[in-house]
Amino acid sequence: MKFKMRVKFRELDASILESWLVTFEEALKIRLPEDYRSHILKYNGGSPIGDYVIFDADSASIMVSEDIHLYSFNYLDNGEGSLDEQASRGGARYISKGIDIGASSGGILMMSLAEDEIGSIYHMFSYGEPQKIANSWTEFVNYLIDEDLDD
């Protein structure tokens, strides 16, 4: 599956090295899906740019707006909301095997690393249960739409 790129991603000043990903994976005893690894290496998180970005698929429709934040390595704040923090915590808090990969207004984005559904993306609002919204990182990105770019 190829990226449709109906949304642009913000590139962070701090790029990462392949060795950081390997160290991260070793700490969690996991292997990230290749499509997500490629995205992290290129954008280091790379939150979508746009005033009105939505996730729109048959499975769910979520307005994530400009405040969606995809976690990066060595996030420049105090370390909260970083992939490094994931390794220190041991992974996702709300699905059995996975990692939190970002946040939206009122919700958390998670990636499953369970063998039977590796790479599946889940979203959970603060008041609910995790809901599977995409079967892979690529599928998730393909359903992100920046209303200003999608003409």
Give the pLDDT confidence score for residue 78 in this predicted structure. 38
Tell me: the pLDDT tens digits for 34-60?
A: 999 998 888 877 777 766 666 766 655
| Residue 121, domain extent | 8-146
% of the chain beyond a pLDDT of 70: 63
Quick check: is 1 in a domain? Answer: no
Rounded to whole angstroms, the Cα distance separating 37 from 57 reads: 23
The pLDDT mean for the chain works out to: 74
The span from the CA of 59 to the CA of 134, in Å, is: 8
Q: Looking at the predicted structure, is the pLDDT value of residue 120 above 70?
A: yes
Side-chain-facing half-sphere of 12: CA atoms under 13 Å: 22
Asked whether residue 29 is assigned to any structural domain, the reply reads yes
For residue 68, what pLDDT band results from cuts at 50, 70 and 90? Answer: low
* One-letter amino acid of 94: Y
Residue 99: φ, ψ to 5°? -135, 150
CA–CA distance, 151 with 85 (Å, rounded to integer): 38
Distance, in Å, from the CA atom of 15 to the CA atom of 41, rounded to the nearest integer, reads 7
- Whether 123 is covered by a domain: the verdict is yes
What is the CATH classification number for the domain harbouring 17?
3.40.1580.10
- pTM to 2 decimals? 0.77
2, part of any domain: no
* 111 pLDDT more than 70: yes
When pLDDT is cut at 50, 70 and 90, the band that residue 126 belongs to is confident
pLDDT digits (tens, 9 = 90+) for 78-107: 344 566 666 566 556 677 788 888 877 778
Domains in the chain, number: 1
Helix (H) or strand (E) holding 8: strand 8-9
Contact 130, 118 (CB under 8 A): no
State the pLDDT at residue 118. Answer: 92
